[in-house]
Structure 1
Amino acid sequence: MNRRDLLKAVVTLPLLPLLMRSGGALAHGAGKLATALRSRVRPGQPGWPTAAEWNRLKQDVGGRLLKLEPPFAQGAASPALKQLDNPFAVGDNPALTQTSGWADAWASQPSAWAVAAENTADVVAAVDFARKHHLRLVVKGGGHSYQGTSDAPDSLLVWTRHMNQVNLHDAFVPQGCAGHVAPQPAVSVQAGAMWIDAYDAVTTRGGRYVQGGGCTTVGVAGLVQSGGFGSLSKRWGTAASNLLEAEVVTADGQIRIANARTNPELFWGLKGGGGGSLGVVTRLTLRTFELPEFFGGVGLIVKADSDAAYRALIAAAVSFYQRALFNPHWGEQMKFYGGDTLDISMMFQDLTQQQAEQTWAPFLDWVKARKDCRITKPFQALAAPARHLWDAEFLRKYLPSAIVSDSRPGAARDHFLWAGDHGQVGWFIHGFQSAWLPATLLQPGRQAQLADALFEASRHWGFSLHFNKGLAGAPADAIARARDTATNSQVCEAFALVICACSGDPAFPGMPGPGPDLATAHTQSAKVAATMDALLKVAPGAGSYVSESDYFLRDWQQRFWGGNYPRLAAAKRKYDPDELFFVHHGVGSEGWSADGFTRTG
């Protein structure tokens, strides 16, 4: 079977449960059933819940049913405008998302109603109500989805923001696994918690480490389900690979425990299979690790005086990375810009500041010896006790420029955003693509080919190599855990994930101002495409990271999950046979219109 035939077969998999139902079941009320299964109901259409039915749902969830309105309906007087640069305030508004939209793809629009869930019973009530009334159901925790999966107009939103408890365990054993696995330190996190909540509990106050995301306001549940990389994943693997157990509300309204022995296929699918496709996660338990003594970072910007010098600089950076940085100590980025500029911003673990400086000395000597390369931002290495990496009070005292605190009166003191992530609050995406670069490109015989591709790509648009988002060079145990997830196995052979993106200022629908600059968006997105085309010449068939990828990918099943997709589709058939759950480019979404309201197959 060739690849095209395989994809056609995969596309039909989520429809099989409908085709395999017994004739008697289909014949009984066939007309009504067919209509229900082929479309979801919008406001004003026959079947949309009555006021009395909405009121019963409100009673079922303890009054926590919200009627959502457009957040900028009051124009310049809209309260949402005052805190639009504060990701914590954006996250606390059920009508907003952390991304305002994507050119020609989607725009952030609030759901019709939202259940502000405070417990698992609230989630069950919302799922049951959506299933009964054939509603489009959306789940939002952190609200960071670039793909627009955190909201949808005319839908019912399960909003988990207020389910944010974090509990540490000294000796956790998943349910049903006693005698089969050894107790281990872990942390249980409810679905609405952000990573800063987890880091504050686990590291700052608990003295342990949990592998999570780099951006502090990202939701724990969404990141884990999509795979989940952090600055130090080259040491501890993905967040998904460290999941020990989850509590999930499936499409039938049942509360299920998923771990290696209980609902194992659901458990596996939640580890990187993408959020919002298999159920509503309400709680996750992740393993924790012993902290190293130090965490730290380095920064440096070098500008070359000519294209030839920039080629040489890129080649030197690639060679230096392979020799000195291609190991579990190092993560984060090298950025390659037009103007022949190399911007280095990397993090390290389990090294002292002196050791970090010694590591970089050969590269700095190479740059200083060149007359055609200039250091425009001096090299700096900083290290601190690992327990203070997310310690807000420590950072305010010793590195205040690195963070942006939640500025609202009475805000939690531990809530802060890294300053480098501030520009993403409310951003409107023009273009975004990613691809895993195989570690074979670092072999001496292929480094020149890689350097040439990096140089050619930089002629079109800037891009970054995220070394922590490729696991080649990680310890064997971290790679083994990652292989037991749904994420494309290419991640285990990749030394980095290349990301190329462009964006504009916030452009929420109805927001005062000129709106998105689509002409600029189209020009820039074309440059992003040209950049990635140049890079894919040395990495044909490269996979893409589901959370950071092109909205318009055509072969997304293969790019996101590779050979794991048929297994994911089987889990979808088992736990969501009628496809209550839909997200853009999620498992089983092939059979639905782009808005998730109408079956197309």
Structure 2
Amino acid sequence: NVSNAIRIEAGVQWGEVYRLLSNFNLVAIGAASGTVSAVGGYLQGGGHSPLSRWKGLAADQILEYDVVTADGQRQTINACQNSDLFWALNGGGGGTYAIVLSAVVRTFPSPSIVATTYSVSAANATRYAKLIESFVEILPALADAGWSGYFDIVDLTLRALFHVPNGNLAALNAILNQFAANNSDLDFNSTNSFVIPSFYHYFALIMEPNNPTGDGFLVSSRLIPESIIRSKPAQVAEVFVQVKGQSTTGSILRGSLVAGGQVSNTTNRNNSINPGWRTALLRMACTQSWLDTTSQADQDFLAAQVLLRAEMLDKVLPVGSQPTCYANEAIPSEPNWQEKFFGSKVIYNQLKSIKEKYDPFGLFVCTNCVGSDDWTSDLN
């Protein structure tokens, strides 16, 4: 059942979509950064969102595409017409199957937002490890209370921005106060909690000014299963501390509480979203930035460190488990990328067969996209 929807054309950015929809007190499930293109690789790659725990991933919201296929034909793609291509476009990666001219996505009445920001530091590595363990232990309570948000683990500091769509300020503060009481020797005086009347106002005030663009930057990511966080918080926290960012080198370990909730809803089968999303609670990203004056040799070293830190995150998984990551936030040198980006070789092969059906001569190709393994590494 769809009450409202919007058709978004190629080239439109999420900030523009949010701004337009706010005039009607509506919202779509879109990116945290306003300059992300709405119907490109973000949408076609799955699309996590500040609101994804509330309503599902962005690719869960797609009703229809208007595309041009490799044979030059303009076609309508939905669950009834060209349903195999619709399935592939909904999560199977952008730039691969057809030229997307526009997409129709669900919209929802905008929620109010209850939010909090805080930054807390420890005096030494031992105390910091205990702080991160306490934080991981409380994550299931945040998830059960409908929280979403982002946190950075850097040096000896934990920074966080969390929000609850249609939340209750007293309930939010109760959980925060419990976390502070569990760490009463640390300074939580920088904590701020507030209520904002709509998602757009929250986005414009808090998220849009912090748009992370314009730098030399690499990222690798892992989807961390909810079951592991609930059952082995001490093990998870230990690994997070090992992988933490260092401000002196420009690295960050950024966690996104954007899975679980409605992201775990598997009733929508009209998409090829990496199944790792359906069992995850967190998307953890190892990021690395550098100056324009950094030598190529140093950049290569930093890239190797980004990959190494992501592989360290795999230690939280049971032995023999297949790591998964978010292909839109992944390092190009990721080994076994077919399984990690798309969930399994079976899913990858299914996507590849659809690509070969609609693009038999490989007109559409990009690095580590479906079908790119038929090309050399420089795509020649």
TM-score clears 0.5: yes
Deviation at 1:391, TM superposition (A): 7.8
Aligned identity (percent) is 26
Find the partner of 1:312 among 130, 142, 146: 130
The equivalent of 2:336 in structure 1 is 555
> Residues 582 and 318 of structure 1: is their aligned pair in 2 closer, same or farther, counting only changes over 3 Å?
same
Q: How far apart, in 1, do the equivalents of 2:2 and 2:285 lie?
A: 38
The equivalent of 2:196 in structure 1 is 384
Is 1:353 equivalent to 2:169 in the alignment? yes
Q: Which residue type is aligned with residue 331 of structure 1?
A: S
> Residues 287 and 555 of structure 1: is their aligned pair in 2 closer, same or farther, counting only changes over 3 Å?
same
Contact 2:79–2:270 under 8 Å retained in 1: no
Is 1:587 equivalent to 2:370 in the alignment? yes
The equivalent of 1:221 in structure 2 is 39
Q: How far apart, in 2, do the equivalents of 1:183 and 1:486 lie?
A: 21
Q: Secondary structure at the match of 1:492?
A: helix
> Residues 184 and 459 of structure 1: is their aligned pair in 2 closer, same or farther, counting only changes over 3 Å?
closer
Is 1:489 equivalent to 2:275 in the alignment? yes
Deviation at 1:361, TM superposition (A): 1.3
Deviation at 1:379, TM superposition (A): 0.5
Find the partner of 1:342 among 158, 165, 169: 158
The equivalent of 2:230 in structure 1 is 443
The equivalent of 1:134 in structure 2 is none
Contact 2:97–2:355 under 8 Å retained in 1: yes
Deviation at 1:546, TM superposition (A): 1.0
Contact 1:226–1:274 under 8 Å retained in 2: yes
Q: Secondary structure at the match of 2:328?
A: coil
Q: Secondary structure at the match of 1:547?
A: helix
TM-score (structure 1 length as normaliser) = 0.58
Q: Which residue type is aligned with residue 138 of structure 2?
A: F
Q: How far apart, in 2, do the equivalents of 1:300 and 1:520 lie?
A: 33
Contact 2:46–2:59 under 8 Å retained in 1: yes
Contact 2:355–2:371 under 8 Å retained in 1: yes
Q: How far apart, in 1, do the equivalents of 2:313 and 2:334 lie?
A: 16
Find the partner of 1:374 among 154, 179, 187: 187
Q: How far apart, in 1, do the equivalents of 2:100 and 2:36 lie?
A: 15
Deviation at 1:288, TM superposition (A): 1.3
Deviation at 1:518, TM superposition (A): 2.9
> Residues 522 and 391 of structure 1: is their aligned pair in 2 closer, same or farther, counting only changes over 3 Å?
closer
Runs of 4+ residues deviating >6 angstroms: none
Deviation at 1:549, TM superposition (A): 0.2
Report how many residues are paired. Answer: 370
Q: Which residue type is aligned with residue 557 of structure 1?
A: Q
Deviation at 1:450, TM superposition (A): 1.1
> Residues 279 and 475 of structure 1: is their aligned pair in 2 closer, same or farther, counting only changes over 3 Å?
closer
Q: Secondary structure at the match of 1:574?
A: helix
Q: Which residue type is aligned with residue 227 of structure 2?
A: T
Find the partner of 2:209 among 408, 419, 426: 419
Instruction: In structure 2, list runs of 5 or more residues that go unmatched.
Output: none
Is 1:457 equivalent to 2:235 in the alignment? no
Deviation at 1:519, TM superposition (A): 4.2
Q: How far apart, in 1, do the equivalents of 2:228 and 2:126 lie?
A: 21
Find the partner of 1:244 among 51, 63, 69: 63
Find the partner of 1:536 among 309, 314, 334: 314
Deviation at 1:273, TM superposition (A): 1.0
Is 1:501 equivalent to 2:287 in the alignment? yes
The equivalent of 2:54 in structure 1 is 235
Superposed, which structure 2 residues align to 1:113-152 within 5 Å?
Answer: none
Q: Which residue type is aligned with residue 6 of structure 2?
A: V
Is 1:467 equivalent to 2:283 in the alignment? no
Superposed, which structure 2 residues align to 1:41-120 within 5 Å?
Answer: none
Q: How far apart, in 2, do the equivalents of 1:297 and 1:517 lie?
A: 41
Deviation at 1:475, TM superposition (A): 6.9
Q: Secondary structure at the match of 2:144?
A: coil
Q: Secondary structure at the match of 2:190?
A: strand
Contact 2:64–2:105 under 8 Å retained in 1: yes
The equivalent of 1:121 in structure 2 is none
Q: Secondary structure at the match of 2:281?
A: strand
Q: Which residue type is aligned with residue 128 of structure 2?
A: Y
Q: Secondary structure at the match of 1:309?
A: helix
Deviation at 1:197, TM superposition (A): 1.7
> Residues 215 and 330 of structure 1: is their aligned pair in 2 closer, same or farther, counting only changes over 3 Å?
same
The equivalent of 1:321 in structure 2 is 139
The equivalent of 1:527 in structure 2 is 305
Contact 1:225–1:273 under 8 Å retained in 2: yes
> Residues 523 and 581 of structure 1: is their aligned pair in 2 closer, same or farther, counting only changes over 3 Å?
closer
Contact 2:96–2:365 under 8 Å retained in 1: yes
Q: Secondary structure at the match of 1:288?
A: strand
Q: Which residue type is aligned with residue 333 of structure 2?
A: F
Contact 2:52–2:263 under 8 Å retained in 1: no
Deviations 1:342-364 (A, max 9, x none): 11122221113333222311012
With CA pairs under 8 Å and 6+ residues apart, which has the higher RCO, 1 or 2?
A: 2
The equivalent of 1:568 in structure 2 is 351
Instruction: In structure 1, list runs of 5 or more residues that go unmatched.
Output: 1-181, 396-401, 404-417, 508-513
Q: Which residue type is aligned with residue 280 of structure 2?
A: A
Work out which of the two has the higher radius of gyration on C-alpha atoms and give 1 or 2.
1
> Residues 501 and 387 of structure 1: is their aligned pair in 2 closer, same or farther, counting only changes over 3 Å?
closer
Q: Secondary structure at the match of 1:499?
A: strand
Is 1:434 equivalent to 2:252 in the alignment? no
Deviation at 1:268, TM superposition (A): 0.7
Q: How far apart, in 1, do the equivalents of 2:92 and 2:160 lie?
A: 32
Q: How far apart, in 2, do the equivalents of 1:188 and 1:278 lie?
A: 20
Q: Which residue type is aligned with residue 57 of structure 2?
A: T
Q: Which residue type is aligned with residue 499 of structure 1?
A: A
